[in-house]
Amino acid sequence: MPHNGLGCACVKDALVRKMFVNWKKKSEAVCEYIKKGKSGRIEFVLLPAMIFRFPVFKMFKVLFKIVRIMNSKGIDSLSFAADDTCNGCRICEKICPVNNIQISGSKPIWSDHCAGCFACFHWCSKRSISLGGYDFNIRNYHHPEVIISDILNGVPS
């Protein structure tokens, strides 16, 4: 499902819209299946079919770059960082489900207990956050029907 992230920017809006339409149909089919009291496998999708439906091959480029940097510079070199476009709005601090971010001065500082949800990255309205300042061509994304207050109201402050 298109949840809190889509991977690289190669996933276009048209594909995302198509996925939502398909999954809506599928969820309706699942409901019908359950209502009829059926059990067992509803659908079987072969791995190659999944790969061709989604531009997985294009994502390998991103993955390889991450692995190469991790290998040569260490995992810490990929820590979250905010660049000069950050306006200190505190969204990242508020949205982090594990209170791993504090604003110091007017910039976020990440602590060491990140849960890896990528909410800070995806919800930053200024797109200021990166992994160690590297550009991995990762697209900022969230579910189109979810607004920030939905998340903030569900997150203990």
Q: Least distance from C-beta 113 to ligand SF4, angstroms?
A: 8
Alpha helices in the chain (DSSP H): 13-35, 47-53, 56-73, 91-95, 119-123, 148-152
The percent helix, strand, coil of the chain (3-state, each to 5) is: 45, 10, 45
Nearer to ligand SF4 by Cβ, of 53 and 97: the residue is: 97
Contact residues for 113 (Cβ-Cβ < 8 A; gap 6+):
98, 100
CA–CA dist 91, 147 (Å, integer): 12
Residue number with CB closer to ligand SF4 (2 or 88): 88
Comparison of 19 and 69: residue with beta carbon closer to ligand SF4: 69
Phi, psi of 130 (to 5 degrees): -140, 170
Nearer to ligand SF4, 118 or 136 (CB): 118
Q: How far is 134 from 137, CA to CA, in rounded Å? A: 9
Residue 46 CB, shortest distance to ligand SF4, in Å, is 32
Residues of the shown chain interacting with ligand SF4 in the complex, contacts defined by CB under 6 A: 82, 86-92, 95-98, 100-101, 108, 110, 114-120, 124, 126, 128-129
Give the shortest CB-83-to-ligand SF4 separation in angstroms.
Answer: 8
Please report how close the Cβ of residue 98 comes to ligand SF4 at its closest, in angstroms.
5
